[in-house]
Amino acid sequence: MYRLSVRVVVLGSDPVVIDPAVPRETAGVEELLAQKPEAAVIAAHGLEAFFRASVALERGVRRVVLRKGSMPEAWMGEIAARALVLSGETFERGDDERYTRLRPGPRVEVAAPSFDEDVTPAARGEPLPLTAPEASLECEEVAFAMGLKPVLYLVVAAHAVERVRARYGELVTREDRLRSGGQSGERTYGVGEAVVHVFVGARANEAAELWAGDSSRNVEALGALMGYPHCCVRAFAAMVSRRINAAFPFVTAARTRALGGTFHPLLDVTTSRLVPFVPCTYSCPRAIEWAERVAAAASVTRRARTVVYFDEARAVALDRASLDGDTLSYEGPRWATEPNDRLQRAFGAVFAERGTVVARDGALTVNGVAFSRGVILPFA
Ligand SMILES: [Zn+2]
């Protein structure tokens, strides 16, 4: 039996032996975490358990208890590692009702695939048409101009700094090198093209200092200074692959599904972005509010659509699609990332004009052709 001198909540709907007075999750985790519990018992398994445990730690719950065997050992190790980052403690409750403190394991980005393999199909067909162009939007600058964020932060090519200075006047700058791109969109600093980190605003110096130290603690302080929602900043700080852009849609989609959320069209980040941060879920009310304000200021409208996302260079948007269990039926596929004739032909051969996409265990099958990675993002 749990000591009820601490405020305990149960997250998840699996059966658990516990005092019936302990609040249980009925309509999502938000309302329970809003009660600021000191401990959370996770009554779920798999991704639902992993992301409930992570969210509890992110929201400041000090003690999180998981049922032994409720998820793979490697994920248990990752949750314990997150607890260190987020100043919490994690325990495993065995079949003998004993509690063991979880030991941090090697970091692993749960729900993110490997981006080593090139998933481009070998076939060549009619090139997929491009999605309707959306006015190019510098969401970071729009948000700064609106006062949504106190500090503007840009990474620009060295030769473009003067243009930024002409626009904003006084800048705080830090020279660096950056190599980015490829399938994963991974950003590696210190090598590659000459770039400058530019900070603008009354607290620009403070932001530049925080940025220079790259700890998780700084990620949080910097996120706060940027005006980003606290829930999204904590979720980002907990991540391992913060420099791998292609990991974000996979992780955010898995979190959204695990927590029972929906995919808001304004948080569709696969073409142009309305928020300059990684939303904690695609249904995060605070991220949606940000996106709504930027969209209103920049006169952007978004139609609901489903995106089949493989990585930063490969995503297909489907204007008409319906999801039934793990099978998506669609018509009218369009190329959603950077125009590229070779890729548009390769994916055109597989997607054709209509068909089905089946998602299972992190892999996709498109009209019978298997892809080792890919995620369906039903922004609706
Ligand atoms: Zn959030």
Where exactly does CATH 3.40.50.720 map onto the chain? 8-101
Q: What number of H helices and E strands is found in the chain?
A: 11, 16
Q: Is the domain covering 8-101 a CATH 3.30.390.10 domain?
A: no
Separation of 287 CA from ligand 1 center, angstroms?
6
> How confident is the chain (380 residues) per 10-residue block, as mean pLDDT?
72 90 88 93 97 98 97 98 96 93 97 94 95 77 90 92 93 92 83 94 92 78 92 95 92 96 91 89 96 91 91 93 93 93 97 95 93 94
Separation of 167 CA from ligand 1 center, angstroms?
31
Identify the pLDDT of residue 228.
95
Query: What's the rounded Cα separation, in Å, for the pair 263 and 252?
Result: 10
Whole-model pTM? 0.93
Separation of 294 CA from ligand 1 center, angstroms?
16
Query: What's the rounded Cα separation, in Å, for the pair 233 and 14?
Result: 29
Separation of 29 CA from ligand 1 center, angstroms?
13
Give the tokens for residue 225: 């200074």
Query: What's the rounded Cα separation, in Å, for the pair 324 and 124?
Result: 29
Give the tokens for residue 324: 């039934």
Strand partners, 112: none
Identify the pLDDT of residue 271.
72
Separation of 124 CA from ligand 1 center, angstroms?
40
| Letter string b/e over residues 76-100, b meaning 16 or more CB atoms within 10 A of that residue's CB | bbbbbbbbebbebbbbbbeeeeeee
Query: What's the rounded Cα separation, in Å, for the pair 63 and 83?
Result: 9
Q: How far is CA 100 from the centre of its chain?
A: 30
Separation of 378 CA from ligand 1 center, angstroms?
18
Separation of 232 CA from ligand 1 center, angstroms?
4
Separation of 80 CA from ligand 1 center, angstroms?
22
